[in-house]
Amino acid sequence: MFTLISSLSKSFSYCGENALRSIRMSIKNLASLSRDEVKNLFSSIDTILTDCDGVLWLHMKILPGAPDVLNKFREMGKRVFYITNNNVITREEFCVKCDKLGFTSTKDDVLTTSYLTACYLHDIGFKKKVYVVGTSGISRELSRLGIRSFGVGPDPLISDVATLVMKDFKLDPDVGAVIVGFDEYISYPKILKAASYLNHPDCLFIATNTDERGPSFINDCVIPGTGSMVAAIETCAGRKPFLIGKPSTYIIDAIRKRYNVDPERTLMIGDRCNTDILLGTRCGFKTLLVLSGVNTLDDVMNWKQSDNEEDRGLVPDYYIGKLGDLLPLLT
Ligand SMILES: [Mg+2]
């Protein structure tokens, strides 16, 4: 276990604010660079942080060439971390998924927000109980660190709100935190309970991440993400959560506690600009957007021309159609 909390208050003052203020004047198509330019770029990088869904795979479908590119990075001596806002599975389950899809991984290479949320509570010495709006990925990571929790699974409105409030509702006085992650069983009773616990100012409010939606992978379907669930509870509770996942720099503090990561020699790869790329910008990393997931080149160009400085923090240094397109440039 690595100690995370001590650096929270000073997290990322070393490069974040200045980096965010910087204006990215150019965004380069990596595929249009010469092999020498690509070689020079990667010789200036030791650590690669990669998002997963939309970069390596879409749901359970491998994006062509992605496993070969990660293997190539490792061959080139780069340290590769999987850095995901996924909070539905544990790190071990994540490694099983990697294995099934042909990606090499060990538990130490994987940072999920389910795991990091449990680390956070463990490191602040949290002893009470957690009400979880989320999945067993969170409750199992909590349990491994000896933290009690409940709330996972369906909790539908049985009759009506009046009956729920007057007869069926009772707060557990031992609850000291509410964690909100992805919950396919999100319901009126769950929002009501979470907000009621959060009505007590001492109750911690933690969001694993705030991704609005998942990458669409079937029938042009919009998949509501964790952020949708966090927003519902945040609105009702009238409080802002402490954010664990990208673009919160907490996740990078966690890596820096364990490994010697030099921000200037680190590349962040992602498909979503307001999490992956913004994290990279805040931390002073080089950033690469792949166009195989959430954001498009049109999105990026709009932000690049925006008068809003924060929008320009969403603009990556480089982009490429998909990660697999890098392979011929690396070999
Ligand atoms: Mg993604």
Please list the helix, strand and coil fractions of the chain in percent, rounded to the nearest 5, in that order.
40, 15, 40
So what's the pLDDT on residue 258?
Answer: 67
- DSSP three-state, residue 244: coil
So what's the pLDDT on residue 5?
Answer: 34
- Residues belonging to the binding site are 51, 53, 246, 271
Supply the CATH classification number for the domain 5-85+246-330.
Answer: 3.40.50.1000
Element containing residue 327 per DSSP (H, E): helix 327-330
CA of 85 to the centre of ligand 1 (A): 8
So what's the pLDDT on residue 6?
Answer: 35
Q: 191-223 in b/e burial notation, b at 16+ Cβ within 10 A? A: bbbbbbbbeeeebbbbbbbbbbebbebeeeeee
pLDDT along the chain (331 residues), means of 10: 36 41 69 92 96 91 96 96 92 94 93 92 95 97 97 95 89 98 97 98 97 76 93 98 92 75 94 94 94 93 87 93 95 84
The span from the CA of 287 to the CA of 269, in Å, is: 6
Q: Is 307 a catalytic residue?
A: no
- Out of 36, 53, 174, 183, pick the active-site residue: 53
- Out of 46, 51, 160, 299, pick the active-site residue: 51
The span from the CA of 128 to the CA of 126, in Å, is: 6
CA of 113 to the centre of ligand 1 (A): 13
So what's the pLDDT on residue 1?
Answer: 41
For the chain, what's the residue count? 331
**Strand 223-224 with 213-214, pairing:** antiparallel
So what's the pLDDT on residue 17?
Answer: 43
CA atoms within a 13 Å half-sphere pointing along the CA-CB vector of 151: 33
The closest of 118, 123, 171, 120 to 148, measured between CA atoms, is 118
Q: Tell me where in the chain the CATH 3.40.50.1000 domain(s) lie.
A: 5-85+246-330, 126-243
Residue spans of beta strands (DSSP E) within the chain: 28-29, 47-50, 57-58, 61-62, 79-84, 110-112, 129-133, 148-150, 175-180, 204-207, 213-214, 223-224, 242-243, 266-270, 286-290, 318-320
* CA-based torsion, 126, 206, 208, 9: positive or negative: negative
CA of 54 to the centre of ligand 1 (A): 5
Judge whether 310 and 16 are in contact, CB under 8 Å: no
- DSSP three-state, residue 50: strand
The span from the CA of 264 to the CA of 107, in Å, is: 25
CA of 135 to the centre of ligand 1 (A): 19
How would you list the strands of the sheet with 47-50, edge to edge?
A: 28-29, 318-320, 286-290, 266-270, 47-50, 79-84, 110-112
The span from the CA of 47 to the CA of 67, in Å, is: 17
Candidate CATH numbers 3.40.50.1000, 3.40.50.300, 3.30.70.2190, 3.90.550.10; the one for domain 126-243? 3.40.50.1000
Q: Is 108 a catalytic residue?
A: no
- Residues belonging to the binding site for substrate are 246
CA of 275 to the centre of ligand 1 (A): 8
So what's the pLDDT on residue 220?
Answer: 82
Amino acid (one-letter) located at 53: D
So what's the pLDDT on residue 18?
Answer: 46
Cis check for the bond before 247: say yes or no (omega within 30 of 0): yes
Q: Where are the alpha helices (DSSP H) in 45-187?
A: 66-75, 91-101, 113-123, 136-144, 161-163
User: Which pTM value belongs to this model?
Assistant: 0.81
